[in-house]
Structure 1
Amino acid sequence: MLYVRPLTVIFLFLLMTSDFKILDSQSECSRQFRVVGYLPDYRVDQLNLSWIKLLTDLIYFSIEPDESGGLDLSRINESSFGTLREITRKHNVRFLISIGGWGRSQGFAGMALNKDLRQNFIHQLKNFCLLQKIDGVDFDWEFPKSQEEASAYEKLLIETKSVFSKFRLLVTVAVNPHTKLGESVYQIIDYIHLMSYDHPDQHSTYQQSLSDVSQQLRFGIQPGKLCLGIPFYGRSLQNWNQAMAYSDLVRQFDLSEGVDLVGGIYFNGQQLVRKKVQYSLQKKLAGIMIWEIGQDTTDQTSLLQTINQTLNR
């Protein structure tokens, strides 16, 4: 007679119940709300690394695609990158690498438009993730300039996911609110990170976030794959190009939780951040995304701590 241990029986029972899911790098428990934080290479030294434990995912910004199909790793500091990898592993936080981004996307077109170069790029990217023992990549091409480039981007995403799925590596994408990806991309991609900020005037209001989410849902992305982006910085109403980190605003001004405008600079304060998190929970979104955690404070005014407190109420 086959002997089955009690714990095995319990596991089999749970496995047969409809609301039980095994947690791995490509599927997560429906009860887990993702808190995704970007951290630029130039901000690592300014971050209280102990706060990484409040995230579910950390995305290191960034490496750049090379037009020849290679990877430009020149912005990666091996020491700090290794430290981040160890901290995320210690706290069971997924660690991803950003590809491209604003001012770092020049190499996308030449690589993505050529099938052989695409394949070489994907191969090198896969090897980088496996060698560095990270959990996946986050694409951010800002921006394709033609329909041909947009189609090549979709091919790049689909082909990357096809390869990465064999190694249980995540493939996520950061998108502008008006960016529509193909249905085939929405089906295979793990998550979409919605950059719901940098709008004209007050650059990231509550109503604008609702509108951005609604638009992405109309495009065809499932709510459970969409993360609402929240800025940890403000922009001047008089000069949109003038931005200020939330931590600098706290140092310069006497802020209360309900304040979102000070010194002519609009930002997301604690009350508004809490409201956006609550909305994301109500809409059953995958979670929220933060640009970027190095701009936060480390005391009771912290926006990341506000997010954590909201989720644990």
Structure 2
Amino acid sequence: MFAHFVDLQKSIDYLKGCNLHLNNFLLNLLIICITAWGCSVGGNSDSDDVVNSGHSDFNKYPKGFKVIGYLPTWGDFDRNLSVADFSKLTHVNIAFGNPDSDGNLEDNLNDDQVAAVVLKAKENNVKVSISLGGAIAPPYEDFLNIDNRTDFVADLVAYVEQHDLDGIDIDIEGDNIPANYEEFVTDLALKLKSEKLLTAALGLWYSDQISDVALAQFDWINVMSYDATGPWAPDVIGQHSSYAKAEEDLNHFMMRGVPSVKLILGVPFYGYDFKYNTSERMGISYKEIVNEYPGAENSDRLDKIYYNGINTITEKVRLVKKRDAGGIMIWEITQDVESSDNRSLLRAIYQEVFHSVLK
């Protein structure tokens, strides 16, 4: 699904070679425009990251930069939706929708709740996808085998159409990835309408289970650049989402042949407190950290609590821009303080994306 990609030099060469009879001033002006953040050659409003689906962004950020937030379905969903700030997002992934024993998506959300997400998204020029999978998803192997796959794909496409969604995000992880994952995403890519999105959330630790053919089906990849350690390794105390890991993860997928603009760097809005040894107590939201510890937003560590503060999040946004990657993904958006708060990570992302444009 990776669309044709026009790099800077080709764009400049194209302009120089065109018989446009432009004087030198206009030609130089055009070249400057191409090199500036936010200008592009071609007619795609999603910038040169051109999703092959033709599903353009709303240009909320320069150069089609994406800010994608996962919206959790567990807990009090209506409250989750209420506190989630869509104004600084370009995309929301509802996490999660998973099949029941018959292959139908679970009723995590009723139709009215899905409609409420879509309505809030439209009011904020945000696209909405349903995300399948997650770390504790049910087994997918039976649904994706040759006997059931056609019906399952058809049910997914119908769900997207019925609920006026913009696409599907695949977050099937680790041991839950069946041997026919490639066939599944290929079939799904073919059946989704051209204007719909097909994306994936992938981690470095199991990426060797995803074939190059499968990678090529996705409009972009949400790189889960976090959880280098955590409750499953309580003796490995330290940062779970470092800047170095972000570099490593982007490098890995680029070496796999994924264009940088198709890579969305995932950042955590949570941390781990290693003074505990159970997952229920170890996980802690960024909101809880900064509300309990004044000034914590300016650090990445408090005693045995490891997380990402404003400075690291800002540096990761700069890394994305330096690498010409596609944007930032957030896990997950209800874990932040309000974006009007100076401690907000979403606010920091928003400000840094525009920094080079406004300064």
Which TM-score bucket, shorter chain as reference? 0.7 to 0.9
- Structure 1 stretches lacking a partner, 5+ long: 1-16
1:176 paired with 2:203, answer yes
Q: Residue 300 and residue 265 in structure 1: after superposition, are their counterparts in 2 closer, same or farther (change >3 A)?
A: same
SS for the counterpart of 1:213 is helix
What corresponds to 1:142 in structure 2?
173
8 Å Cα contact 2:68-2:93 kept in structure 1: yes
What corresponds to 2:114 in structure 1?
81
1:55 paired with 2:98, answer no
C-alpha displacement of 1:47: 5.0
What corresponds to 1:187 in structure 2?
216
1:15-66, CA deviations, whole angstroms, 9 ceiling, x for partnerless residues? xx97032337734479111101001012641455572021010001111134
C-alpha displacement of 1:263: 3.8
Residues 20-169 of structure 1: pairs in structure 2 closer than 5 A: 20-23=42-45, 26-27=53-54, 28=56, 31-42=63-74, 44=77, 45-46=79-80, 48-49=82-83, 51-66=85-100, 68=102, 70-104=103-137, 106-112=138-144, 114-144=145-175, 150-164=178-192, 166-169=193-196
What corresponds to 2:272 in structure 1?
235
What corresponds to 1:289 in structure 2?
329
- Structure 2 stretches lacking a partner, 5+ long: 1-38, 230-237
One of 206, 210, 216 as aligned partner of 2:247:
210
8 Å Cα contact 1:186-1:220 kept in structure 2: no
SS for the counterpart of 1:244 is strand
1:123-143, CA deviations, whole angstroms, 9 ceiling, x for partnerless residues? 011001001001001011122
8 Å Cα contact 1:64-1:107 kept in structure 2: no
1:177-233, CA deviations, whole angstroms, 9 ceiling, x for partnerless residues? 131322222323111111111112310011111111111222222211111110000
Q: Residue 62 and residue 234 in structure 1: after superposition, are their counterparts in 2 closer, same or farther (change >3 A)?
A: same
8 Å Cα contact 1:34-1:287 kept in structure 2: yes
Q: Residue 90 and residue 47 in structure 1: after superposition, are their counterparts in 2 closer, same or farther (change >3 A)?
A: closer
In 1: Cα distance, 2:110 partner to 2:349 partner: 29
1:82-129, CA deviations, whole angstroms, 9 ceiling, x for partnerless residues? 22110111221110011111112x2311111x2131111110110010
The amino acid of 2:165's aligned partner reads I
8 Å Cα contact 1:246-1:267 kept in structure 2: yes
SS for the counterpart of 1:211 is helix
Name the structure with the higher strand share.
1
What corresponds to 1:274 in structure 2?
314
Between the two proteins, the alignment pairs up a number of residues equal to 290
1:199 paired with 2:232, answer no
1:19 paired with 2:41, answer yes
C-alpha displacement of 1:253: 0.5
8 Å Cα contact 1:67-1:107 kept in structure 2: no
SS for the counterpart of 1:19 is coil
More off after superposition, 287-296 vs 136-145: 136-145
8 Å Cα contact 2:296-2:302 kept in structure 1: no
1:239-272, CA deviations, whole angstroms, 9 ceiling, x for partnerless residues? 4631100001011101254301014110000110
What corresponds to 1:303 in structure 2?
345
SS for the counterpart of 1:125 is helix
More off after superposition, 26-35 vs 260-269: 26-35
Q: CA RMSD in A?
A: 2.2
The amino acid of 1:94's aligned partner reads K
In 2: Cα distance, 1:220 partner to 1:87 partner: 36
In 1: Cα distance, 2:101 partner to 2:199 partner: 21
What corresponds to 1:248 in structure 2?
288
In 2: Cα distance, 1:131 partner to 1:46 partner: 23
In 2: Cα distance, 1:46 partner to 1:224 partner: 30
SS for the counterpart of 1:92 is coil
8 Å Cα contact 2:97-2:106 kept in structure 1: yes
In 1: Cα distance, 2:294 partner to 2:160 partner: 43
The amino acid of 2:329's aligned partner reads M
Identical amino acids, percent of aligned pairs: 28
